[in-house]
Amino acid sequence: MKKAKVYLSGPDRLKKNARELFEQYAALCEKYGFELLRYPDELFEASGSREDNERIARQRLQLLKNCDIIIADTADFRSYVEPYNEPAFELGAAFALGKKAYAYMPDTRVCAERYSGTKHLNDKGILVDENGISFEPGPLNLMLEYGVTAIVQGNLEDALKKASEDWQGGEQ
């Protein structure tokens, strides 16, 4: 059986210790029978000029094209009930490319339950936030939920376990 190639998406690439984290992630991928697609060093850098950003985005999209599975950190980002933008975009791209996709987050309760702001029922009996915007019925935006193979409560290792079960189970 071929070793599936995994692309990881999430804000960890921007942390000060990102390279060390990705070495640990590579070992975790190996533990579950996967090969981590490695980012070129420049993908660990913060955004630069528009031209730099476009080049980096194209490199990342090429990595997505070359992967079998994307595993994305969709935890609430900066206290919002939404994931970091990059995983959202990359999950959409992966869906368009026909890739298996796994989202992981520490709390998979529905958005309204995780939202700490003001909530109320509108005149139609729909739960909305203080801006009158309704909540998604699941833990993620419906377009993200639709495009993923599974949403896993937990961390990267939990998502790798689930992906490994699916991959080893003949769902390639």
Find the domain containing 12 and state its range: 4-108+140-168
Inside any domain, residue 115: no
- Tell me if the pTM is above 0.85: yes
Inside any domain, residue 128: no
Per-residue model confidence (pLDDT) at position 1: 64
Inside any domain, residue 104: yes
Give how many domains the chain has, as a whole number.
1
Per-residue model confidence (pLDDT) at position 172: 43
Nearest Cα residue to 11 out of 64, 90, 81: 90
Question: What is the percent of the chain where pLDDT is above 70?
Answer: 95
Inside any domain, residue 83: yes
Q: How confident is the model at residue 110 (pLDDT cuts 50, 70, 90)?
A: very high
Per-residue model confidence (pLDDT) at position 165: 95
Q: What's the whole-number average pLDDT of the chain?
A: 91
Q: In CATH, what number is assigned to the domain containing residue 44?
A: 3.40.50.450
Residue 7 CB coordination number (10 Å): 22
Residue 128 has pLDDT above 70, yes or no: yes
